[in-house]
Amino acid sequence: FDILNSGAWGIRLANGTWTGAFRAIQKEIWIALFCGVIILGIFLGLIHWTLSQPLPTRALVKLAEDYTFILIGNIWQESAPILLPAFNSLRILWMSWYLGVTLILMCAFSGQMKAAMMLKPEKARIDQLHDLYEHKNIKIYVPQHSIVDKQLKTHAEPWGRSLYDRIVRQGTAGNAALIYHIDVLKDVVHSRSVIIASRVALAKAADAYCTSMPAGEFYVARQSTYSFQSVIHLSRSTLEKAERKKILQRLTWLGEGGLLSKWVSDIAGSWEGCEARSSTDQHEALEFEDIKGLFFIVLILDTISILFFLGEIIAVRKLHLKRIKKFAF
């Protein structure tokens, strides 16, 4: 993980990213972190107080305070100043905090490792129509009454025709205003939608959006859905047959001479996608979606801790009863 040589904190940009080595974190994550310290500190104190009976009630408040300050120190990678009691439930619960928050969340914040990438694997690319068929929840936007409509409607394979049925069901065939709408482009960046259209039109719409989006990328599928150099519409009602023939003849000459191919190449012939201008050399803000895997880790360890806690309560009560019987007899 390369740390950028641009100062410790860097400069916060308008799109929410930083130029320095430290990441920005959403305020919701800070709120969750603050609430987590308080709640977990109370739980740790309650477990300690319950398993160490008899203790006075005021000891519970003191234990909760002590554990809260221990957790705050753990955030900044400070070890516990006291030796934790030998209760497995207490150790596992504290370990979930140390593993999830100290080692993962705060290390991601300080730029020491890409923890978010460890918990959030890169989404699979869609490089051909069959990949699109396997992703049932993705919306497919196509120009209405286009060659794409006809190709999918008359596809040789049932799975290909099912893509056309999906387009009809979702109502995602339309004009340029629909398929290149800003909301659709956002969905494409987040792998919730795809657009099947000409490379020239895609390059014009996507490249303009890339200049302003905070993160993400557009990419072109490695396998082309269809291929054409240009589409010409000639009106039969306003042009005589002889005039249409002359126009088509000159267009044919332009194509045979290579001028049309050069024009397409100059416009978007080598366009393979684009990335957010800030995503290549700045860090993105860490959001809840990026640390979703962190909650699963904490949840699993907390569940194990609860099971150990119930078992330890039973064991402590049995030991207490044995001592009472021994004292009585």
Do 241 and 185 share a structural domain? yes
Q: Look at residue 135 and tell me if it is in a domain.
A: yes
Torsion of CA 216, 217, 223, 228, to 10 degrees: 140
The β-bridge relationship of strands 217-219 and 273-275 is antiparallel
User: What pLDDT score was predicted for residue 106?
Assistant: 61
Do 52 and 142 share a structural domain? no
User: What pLDDT score was predicted for residue 26?
Assistant: 62
For 16: left if phi > 0, alpha if psi spans -120 to 50, otherwise beta; the answer is: left
Average pLDDT, the chain: 73
Span between the terminal Cα atoms of the chain, in Å: 67
Cα–Cα dist 139/167, whole Å: 7
Cα–Cα dist 69/283, whole Å: 30
Do 166 and 270 share a structural domain? yes
Q: Look at residue 4 and tell me if it is in a domain.
A: no
Cα distances from 59 to residues 63, 105, 220, in angstroms, run: 6, 31, 63
Q: Look at residue 304 and tell me if it is in a domain.
A: yes
Cα–Cα dist 285/29, whole Å: 11
Helix or strand (DSSP H, E) at 204: helix 199-210
> Cβ neighbours of residue 270 under 8 Å, at least 6 residues apart?
none
User: What pLDDT score was predicted for residue 280?
Assistant: 41
Q: Which domain holds residue 306?
A: 27-111+285-328
The pLDDT of 296-301, averaged and rounded, is 78
pLDDT tens digits, one per residue of 12-53: 556 655 554 445 556 676 777 788 888 888 888 888 888 777
The answer on pLDDT for 95 being more than 80 is no
User: What pLDDT score was predicted for residue 235?
Assistant: 72
55 phi and psi, to 5 degrees?
-135, 145
Beta-bridged to residue 139, according to DSSP, are 193
Q: Look at residue 7 and tell me if it is in a domain.
A: no
User: What pLDDT score was predicted for residue 84?
Assistant: 65
- Listed range (182-186, 241-245, 284-288) with the worst mean pLDDT: 284-288
Do 65 and 181 share a structural domain? no
Do 238 and 136 share a structural domain? yes
Do 300 and 226 share a structural domain? no
Domain edge (last residue) among 275, 301, 317:
275
Q: Look at residue 14 and tell me if it is in a domain.
A: no
- Listed range (108-122, 145-159, 170-184, 237-251) with the worst mean pLDDT: 108-122
Q: Look at residue 123 and tell me if it is in a domain.
A: no
Beta-bridged to residue 140, according to DSSP, are 194
User: What pLDDT score was predicted for residue 218?
Assistant: 79
Cα–Cα dist 41/45, whole Å: 6
- How many domains does the chain fold into? 2
Instruction: Taking each helix axis as running N to C, give the angle between helix 199-210 and helix 182-189, from 0 to 180 degrees, rounded to the nearest 10.
Output: 90
Do 299 and 180 share a structural domain? no
The answer on pLDDT for 56 being more than 60 is yes
pLDDT tens digits, one per residue of 175-233: 888 888 888 988 888 888 999 887 777 877 877 777 777 666 778 787 777 665 556 66
Do 228 and 135 share a structural domain? yes
Look-up of token digits 């009602």: 237
Q: Look at residue 124 and tell me if it is in a domain.
A: no
Q: Look at residue 21 and tell me if it is in a domain.
A: no
* CB-side neighbour CA atoms (13 Å) of 150: 4
pLDDT tens digits, one per residue of 137-168: 899 999 888 888 888 888 888 998 999 999 99
Do 257 and 133 share a structural domain? yes
Do 291 and 268 share a structural domain? no
Domain edge (last residue) among 239, 256, 275:
275
Do 181 and 305 share a structural domain? no
Beta-bridged to residue 142, according to DSSP, are 173
Do 160 and 83 share a structural domain? no
Instruction: Dump the DSSP string for 178-199.
Output: HHT-HHHHHHHHTTSEEE-S-H
- Listed range (63-67, 165-169, 289-293) with the worst mean pLDDT: 289-293
